[in-house]
Amino acid sequence: MSKPVPAKPKQAPAADPVSSHLCRRLKQLRAERGWSLDALAKASGVSRSMLSQIERAKANPTLAVAFRIARAFGMTLGALVETPGATSAVEVIRADDHAYHYRSDKNCRIRTLSPLNLEKDVEFYEVRLVEGGELRSSPHFEGTREFLTVQKGRVRVESASDAEELSPGDSATYRADVPHAIVNAGKGEAVVFLVDIYR
Amino acid sequence: MSKPVPAKPKQAPAADPVSSHLCRRLKQLRAERGWSLDALAKASGVSRSMLSQIERAKANPTLAVAFRIARAFGMTLGALVETPGATSAVEVIRADDHAYHYRSDKNCRIRTLSPLNLEKDVEFYEVRLVEGGELRSSPHFEGTREFLTVQKGRVRVESASDAEELSPGDSATYRADVPHAIVNAGKGEAVVFLVDIYR
DNA sequence: GAATAGTGTGCAGGATATTGAACACACGAA
DNA sequence: TTCGTGTGTTCAATATCCTGCACACTATTC
């Protein structure tokens, strides 16, 4: 009947902090991979129009849609919507990671397997941990991922709040832009191979 | 060309894996704190009705709504929607996982050590060559580089017209966008770890 | 120039997310 | 009993998400 509720101020479509953040993130990710809206649409199952609107903060995507987009980028929903670097705007550069070919203490011996003066976006290490030894790392650059395979011994890998136990032959991949650690959880020396990828 | 497309499948309200998961999570969190729907509604700014529907997987919440709910619980969106165990931040490939045996013949056994569905710009392999075995590769994409370290045995690496002999512990980096090969040049089995970087 | 393919955007429309109010039920206190 | 209060659910109405199509624009090729 009558419309007693005219005071709806013709609300501007969407201006949530979530959406306005997602918009920049989406643009960035898509630009990084050189994907077109159409390519992302096909990869995610979300229509071009929707993606365009999301990138312009004109729409407030559904959880299902956001999830599909995250999947298309090969990441979790949290990784898509949350700002990993915003909280720690301080850039931590571990000078000794780059300057030393060898880094040895009682617990841990690291050997560089890739030339340090080469590309900055990949590093290859061999890490030897004595019994009870561990290697704890501050967060690397945003987007850094670490690939690991266990050669010998039992190792526990920790990234953020997650932890996994690995035996010889097991491999793991995890984010390295958060505090992470590699711990010798078995008896005797442990040997792992490590690959760091910067983006 | 024309596509009739009348078959709109009258999609059932909501049965996404995301929503069905969120429903249990929400119920659990709310029960843990002893909150009523009304309390959560006041704390989050989302209506009771909506919360009820979400808990019964009858609706597909918007990102903004999901975000407000997460805030009410004092957690991030990722922590709300992701299963701590299932969507773990560490991806593990077990030593006995045969799905990741990239290729096996009499001469050469290759095992993938990085998740296949991840970014395509880095791959991590373990290669085992029997005595006299070799792995010859056609040129990869331009700009691809290969990092290698010898774990066991003696190996000859060939890239373009260059060749180098490596012993255990030796490492090498070379272009992989030209014909290249890894040859077991010693006695017994040879084991190397390989990293391919696309640009 | 015309044709083709690619980019991102602007619609109309059906589907649905979201809300406030009405509803049914259980519990305890008058 | 009859309130009063709290629980969670259901309903009508609105806002908006989401899609398919058409549009404008830019290159590139014929």
Kindly tell me if the per-residue pLDDT of A184 is higher than 90: yes
Q: Are A142 and A79 in contact (CB under 8 A)?
A: no
Chain A CB contacts of B66 below 8 Å = 63
Is there contact between A47 and strand D, defined as CB under 7 Å from any strand atom? yes
List the single residue in A18, A81, A172 with the smallest CB-CB distance to B92.
A172
Task: Tell me what pLDDT residue B92 has.
Answer: 53
By CB atoms closer than 10 A (0-12, 13-18, 19+), residue B28 is exposed
User: Of A101-115, A165-179, B33-47, B155-169, where does mean pLDDT reach its minimum?
Assistant: A101-115
**Strand C, nucleotides covered by protein (CB < 7 Å):** 6-12, 14-21
Which amino acid belongs to residue A128?
R
Question: Which residue of B92, B94, B144, B199 to mutate against A (max A Cβ within 10 Å)?
Answer: B92
Kindly tell me if the per-residue pLDDT of B15 is higher than 60: no
Mean pLDDT in residue range B4-13: 37
Integer Cα distance of B184 and B195 in angstroms: 18
User: Of A6-20, B54-68, B97-111, where does mean pLDDT reach its minimum?
Assistant: A6-20
Output the CA torsion sign for A65, B71, A176, A91. Answer: positive
Q: What is the pTM of this model?
A: 0.48
Residues B77, A82: C-beta atoms closer than 8 Å: yes
Q: Tokens 């999830």 appear where? A: A67
Task: Tell me what pLDDT residue B117 has.
Answer: 42
Mean pLDDT in residue range A32-42: 82
Q: Among A110-114, B16-20, B178-182, B187-191, name the most confident range.
A: B187-191
Radius of gyration of chain A (CA): 22
Structure tokens at B53: 């529907």
Task: Tell me what pLDDT residue B114 has.
Answer: 63
User: Of B4-8, B35-39, B169-173, where does mean pLDDT reach its minimum?
Assistant: B4-8
Question: Which residue of A62, A157, A159 to mutate against B (max B Cβ within 10 Å)?
Answer: A62
Q: Are B155 and B133 in contact (CB under 8 A)?
A: no
Query: Shortest CA–C1' contact from A56: which nucleotide?
Result: C9
Kindly tell me if the per-residue pLDDT of A102 is higher than 50: no
**pLDDT over 90 percentage in chain A:** 7
Is there contact between B62 and strand D, defined as CB under 7 Å from any strand atom? yes
Q: Are B179 and B198 in contact (CB under 8 A)?
A: no
Question: Which residue of B16, B44, B58, B62 to mutate against A (max A Cβ within 10 Å)?
Answer: B62
The kind and range of the H/E element at B178 are none
Which one is predicted more confidently, B162 or B181? B181
Residues B92, A147: C-beta atoms closer than 8 Å: no
Query: Shortest CA–C1' contact from A60: which nucleotide?
Result: D17
List the single residue in B118, B126, B147 with the smallest CB-CB distance to A114.
B147
Chain B CB contacts of A174 below 8 Å = 89-91
Which is nearest to A19 in space by CA: B49, B77, B54, B89?
B77
Integer Cα distance of A44 and B9 in angstroms: 19
Radius of gyration of chain B (CA): 27
Residue A7 main-chain phi, psi, to 5 deg:
-80, 15
Task: Tell me what pLDDT residue A62 has.
Answer: 92
Which pLDDT tens digit goes with each residue over B68-87? 888 888 777 887 877 544 33
Kindly tell me if the per-residue pLDDT of A134 is higher than 70: yes
User: Of A163-167, B58-62, B76-80, B81-85, where does mean pLDDT reach its minimum?
Assistant: B81-85
Size of the A and B interface in Cβ pairs below 8 Å: 151
Residues 6 or more apart in contact with residue B144 via CB below 8 angstroms: B175, B176, B177, B196, B197, B198, B199
Mean pLDDT in residue range B97-117: 59
Chain A CB contacts of B145 below 8 Å = 119, 122
List the single residue in A63, A115, A169 with the smallest CB-CB distance to B61.
A63
Output the CA torsion sign for B110, B114, B120, B121. Answer: negative
Q: Are B125 and B193 in contact (CB under 8 A)?
A: yes
Which one is predicted more confidently, B158 or B2? B158
Q: Among A9-18, A46-55, A171-180, B190-199, name the most confident range.
A: A46-55
| Mean pLDDT taken over chain A | 71
B149/chain A closest Cα distance in angstroms: 7
The integer distance in angstroms from the CA atom of B158 to the C1' atom of C30 is: 95
Residue of chain B with shortest Cα separation from A16: B64
User: Of B15-19, B94-98, B145-149, where does mean pLDDT reach its minimum?
Assistant: B94-98
List the single residue in A163, A169, A175 with the smallest CB-CB distance to B95.
A169
Task: Tell me what pLDDT residue B126 has.
Answer: 85
List the single residue in A63, A169, A174 with the smallest CB-CB distance to B18.
A63
Chain B CB contacts of A159 below 8 Å = 89-90
Kindly tell me if the per-residue pLDDT of A34 is higher than 70: yes
Q: Tokens 């999570």 appear where? A: B25
Residues B195, A124: C-beta atoms closer than 8 Å: yes
Task: Name all domains of chain A by residue range, CATH numbers in brackets.
Answer: 17-83 (1.10.260.40), 95-197 (2.60.120.10)
